[in-house]
């Protein structure tokens, strides 16, 4: 048997499970909580309204084996308290409990366990002791790279700093060491982009262990090529996902205020995670819609002219693939793993990260080139068509076989 473990049944995790099943392997998927089922934990998840991000879209509802109650407690705390330190502590308590629980499952006759960064230290130790092969998935850039970058942002924008962040910064070395220990215990490491891979190699980790495996795009919708505003009315820009510092949201707001166009609108779909001083009074033309179902976001992509994803660092940025699959061009930065899919000027624009001036220039270009944006839509759809989730699954199995962690 093969084991896959992840705190969330994320789309890319479900694809890893499906890849093993399609390869003829017997796969067991360990996770915390899903909205499926009639048990009390599933009902609690639905009551919290957190089921959308955990929906089982690619594997049967009865596939996961769950360890739910620490995660239920974490979600409940999120409703009751905004204390950053307490929420951080409870997250790590829930994560460590999950990791220890999966480690206990390694007594079963598994041949391989596929785990995700930060969540599998105890699991990998138990697996190695039992002679089970280990594969580590890296969904994020190396931890010190990310934390050092965000610390620089807090120095540039003091309103982002807080006493809690100062205390959490003191834990950086310990948390980096955990991630590096997981890497050391892995027989094979799968990075989701060349950007992610390069940050880990730059930190001194063994490049020989790493294979690069880009995430796939959803099935393309050819009708998206005819979408957008067609130059009529305001320019329509869209943001999808958490509106946060790491995603470059504060630079976008700064750029939008400097640009101050009355002939454009920005619709933000996702949780706003910025200090109130930066987000409570959005500039004219910016609308915060909050979290919405993924299906609704995909429909909005068809109506928009371009996706804005000015991330400071993202291992991949699955939202880029989703936008391209609807024929929507993308503004992103060279620190997004998914930038590998963007040919600047052909199916989107690649800009420097952490620059409101670069964003202002990109917004101006879009406003001045409405016809050019419409032409980009066909190239955007073409990029998504070239690398589907089925291609990701085949490549994952190929890499596992070449590394001899599963049979030919």
Q: What is the pLDDT of residues 279-291, one digit of tens each?
A: 778 889 999 999 8
Report the top-level CATH class of 2-216+389-402.
alpha beta
Look up residue 342 and give its two tokens: 């963007």
Q: Cβ of 276: how many Cβ atoms within 10 Å?
A: 9
Maximum Cα–Cα distance across the chain: 64
User: Quick one: CA dihedral 6, 63, 396, 326, positive or negative?
Assistant: negative
Q: What is the pLDDT of residue 58?
A: 87
Instruction: Tell me the pTM.
Output: 0.93
Q: What is the pLDDT of residue 198?
A: 97
Q: Give percent above pLDDT 90 in the chain.
A: 77
Higher pLDDT, 292 or 314: 314
Could you tell me the residue ranges of all domains in the chain? Answer: 2-216+389-402, 222-386
Q: What is the pLDDT of residue 163?
A: 87
Tens-place pLDDT, residues 301-310 = 999 999 999 9
Over range 193-208, report the average pLDDT. Answer: 97
C-alpha–C-alpha distance, residues 39 and 33, integer Å? 11
C-alpha–C-alpha distance, residues 289 and 291, integer Å? 7
Q: Residue 277 pLDDT more than 80?
A: no
How, if at all, do strands 188-191 and 235-240 pair?
unpaired
Tens-place pLDDT, residues 78-117 = 888 889 999 999 999 999 999 999 999 998 889 999 999 9
- If one looks up domain 222-386 in CATH, what number appears? 3.40.50.2000
Over range 126-152, report the average pLDDT. Answer: 97
Domain pair 2-216+389-402 / 222-386, same fold: yes
Over range 378-391, report the average pLDDT. Answer: 96
C-alpha distances in angstroms, 153 versus 180, 245, 280? 24, 8, 20
What number of helices (H) and strands (E) belong to the chain?
A: 16, 15
Q: Residue 53 pLDDT more than 90?
A: no
pLDDT band, very low/low/confident/very high, at 35 (cuts 50, 70, 90): confident
Q: What is the pLDDT of residue 185?
A: 98
Contact 405, 187 (CB under 8 A): yes
Name the DSSP class of 344.
Answer: B
Over range 41-62, report the average pLDDT. Answer: 74
Helix axes 11-22, 389-402, angle to 10 degrees: 60
Q: What is the pLDDT of residue 63?
A: 87
Burial classification of residue 168, based on how many CB atoms lie within 10 Å of its CB (0-12 exposed, 13-18 middle, 19 or more buried): middle
pLDDT band, very low/low/confident/very high, at 218 (cuts 50, 70, 90): very high
User: Quick one: CA dihedral 219, 396, 133, 116, positive or negative?
Assistant: negative
C-alpha–C-alpha distance, residues 308 and 320, integer Å? 9
Residues 6+ apart with CB under 8 A from 301: 224, 227, 238, 240, 307, 322, 323, 326, 328
Helix segments in 28-156, DSSP class H: 40-48, 69-80, 84-105, 121-129, 143-156
């Amino acid at each position: 048997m093969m084991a896959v473990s992840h705190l969330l049944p994320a789309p890319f995790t479900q694809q890893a499970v499906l890849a093993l099943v399609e390869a003829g392997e017997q796969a067991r998927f360990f996770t915390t909580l899903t909205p499926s089922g009639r048990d009390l934990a599933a009902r609690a998840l639905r009551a919290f309204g957190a089921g959308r991000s955990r929906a089982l879209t690619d594997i049967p509802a009865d596939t996961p084996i769950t360890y739910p109650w620490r995660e239920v407690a974490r979600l409940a705390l999120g409703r009751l308290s905004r204390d950053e330190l307490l929420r951080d502590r409870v997250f790590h308590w829930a994560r460590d409990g999950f990791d220890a629980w999966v480690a206990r499952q390694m007594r079963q006759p598994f041949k391989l366990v596929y785990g995700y960064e930060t969540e599998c230290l105890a699991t990998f130790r138990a697996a190695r002791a039992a002679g089970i092969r280990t594969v580590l998935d890296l969904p994020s850039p190396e931890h010190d790279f990310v934390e050092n970058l965000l610390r620089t942002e807090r120095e540039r924008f003091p309103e982002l700093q807080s006493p809690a962040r100062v205390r959490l910064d003191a834990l950086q070395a310990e948390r980096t060491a955990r991630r590096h220990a997981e890497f050391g215990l892995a027989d094979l490491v799968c990075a989701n982009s060349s950007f992610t891979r390069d940050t880990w190699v730059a930190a001194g980790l063994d490049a020989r262990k790493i294979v690069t495996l880009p995430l796939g795009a959803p099935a393309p919708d050819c009708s998206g090529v005819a979408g957008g505003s067609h130059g009529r009315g305001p320019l329509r820009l869209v943001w999808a996902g958490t509106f946060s510092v790491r995603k470059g949201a504060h630079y976008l707001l700064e750029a939008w205020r400097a640009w101050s166009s009355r002939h454009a609108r920005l619709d933000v779909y996702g949780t706003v995670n910025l200090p109130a001083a930066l987000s409570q009074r959005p500039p004219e033309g910016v609308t915060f819609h909050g979290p919405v179902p993924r299906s609704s976001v995909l429909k909005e992509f068809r109506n928009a002219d371009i996706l804005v994803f000015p991330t400071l660092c993202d291992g991949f940025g699955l939202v880029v693939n989703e936008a391209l699959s609807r024929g929507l061009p993308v503004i992103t930065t060279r620190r997004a793993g998914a930038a590998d899919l963007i040919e600047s000027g052909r199916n989107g624009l690649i800009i420097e990260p952490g620059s409101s001036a670069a964003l202002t220039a990109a917004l101006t270009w879009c406003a001045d080139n409405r016809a050019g944006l419409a032409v980009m839509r066909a190239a955007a759809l073409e990029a998504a068509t070239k690398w589907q989730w089925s291609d990701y699954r085949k490549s994952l199995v190929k890499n596992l076989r070449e590394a001899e962690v599963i049979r030919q």
